[in-house]
Structure 1
Amino acid sequence: MEIHIQIIGSILILLALVHIIFPKYFNWKLELINLSLINRQMMTTHTFFIALTVFLMGLLCISQSHSLTSTDLGKTICLGLGIFWLVRLFFQLFIYSAKLWKGKTFETIIHIFFTLFWTYMSVVFMSVYYA
């Protein structure tokens, strides 16, 4: 199970780094211009802290995979991470509109990839807890 935790950690670090391109890719300079200053700053600040949190989750998974899978505290942390990513999977499937990806090749691939990734993480983390 440790190898799965390390794989997840590596992908989470990559995901965190991808956040760097979000402002340009999503054209935030133009898209956010009509928002109030507080909403613009909340968008960029929250994106930064999401990326930081995802990066730190990845670092934890890579550097402490043994502890996460073999100690009571580690298993409890895995339960929390499993619940976190299960809720994220729920949002992927039921909160985000299918209009965002249906009929768009790149967006559909991304949607499928992240649906599989959120599922994989949820199953791995929950399996560690219940093993």
Structure 2
Amino acid sequence: MITQLNIVGGVCILLALLHAVFPSYFHWKQELKALSLLNRQLMYVHTFFIVLTVFFIGLLCLTAAKDLVTTRLGNRIALGLAIFWALRLWVQFFGYSAQLWRGKPLETVVHVVFSLLWLYFTAIFFMVFWSGWKLYPFAH
């Protein structure tokens, strides 16, 4: 389980770093120009905090994997992260329109890859939680 958490951690850090190219790749300067200053800044600020959150999840998995697996607090954090990534997986299908990827080869591959990635993250964190459930039930 620790190895899997380390893999999740490395991928999360890579995902966080990948966001650095979003503004230029998605042409945010031009695309967001029509938005009000508040909405434009909300996009940048919220993206920054999403990146920061994903980076810290990665750092946690790389530096405290053993604690996530072997402690009561780690068990509860793993449950929270399982829920976080399960919700992200749900958004992949119900928050984004299928028009963004259906019938487009590259976008379909990206959709499938990220769907599988969110499923993998959800499964790993849920397994970490479940493996500690007998040791650290909520009743105690």
Measured against the shorter chain, the TM-score band is: over 0.9
Stretch of structure 1 that moved more, 95-104 or 5-14: 95-104
Q: CA RMSD in A?
A: 0.7
Alignment of 1:56-75 (within 5 A): 56-75=56-75
Q: What is the CA deviation profile of residues 42-61 of structure 1, one whole-angstrom value per residue up to 9, with x for unaligned ones? A: 10111111101100110000
1:37 is aligned to 37
- Structure 2 CA distance, aligned partners of 1:109 and 1:35? 30
Where does residue 89 of structure 1 map in the other structure? 89
After TM superposition, the runs of 4+ consecutive aligned structure 1 residues lying more than 4 A away are none
Structure 2 counterparts to residues 1-131 of structure 1, below 5 A: 1-131=1-131
Distance across 1 between alignment mates of 2:121 and 2:98: 22
* TM-score, normalised relative to structure 1: 0.98
Unpaired runs of 5+ residues, structure 1, are none
Structure 2 CA distance, aligned partners of 1:9 and 1:70? 17
Distance apart, 1:102 and its partner CA: 1.2
Q: What displacement does 1:109 show? A: 1.2
Distance 1:7 1:123 in 2: 13
Cα drift, residue 130 of structure 1: 1.0
Question: In 1, Cα distance between the equivalents of 2:34 and 2:72?
Answer: 49
Aligned-pair CA distance for 1:104:
1.7
Instruction: Please give the alpha-carbon distance, in whole angstroms, between the structure 1 residues aligned to 2:95 and 2:49.
Output: 21
Taking the aligned partners of 1:105 and 1:30, their CA distance within structure 2 comes to: 26
% identical equivalent positions: 52
Give, in whole Å, the separation in 2 of the partners of 1:66 and 1:7. 13
Structure 2 residue matching 1:9: 3-state secondary structure: helix
Measured against aligned partners, the alpha-carbon deviations of 1:52-104 in whole angstroms (never above 9, x if no partner) come to 11001100000100000111100100000000000010000122101111122
- C-alpha separation between the residues in 1 aligned to 2:110 and 2:7? 18
Q: Which runs of 5+ in 2 are unaligned?
A: 132-140
Q: Distance in 2 between matches of 1:44 and 1:95?
A: 19
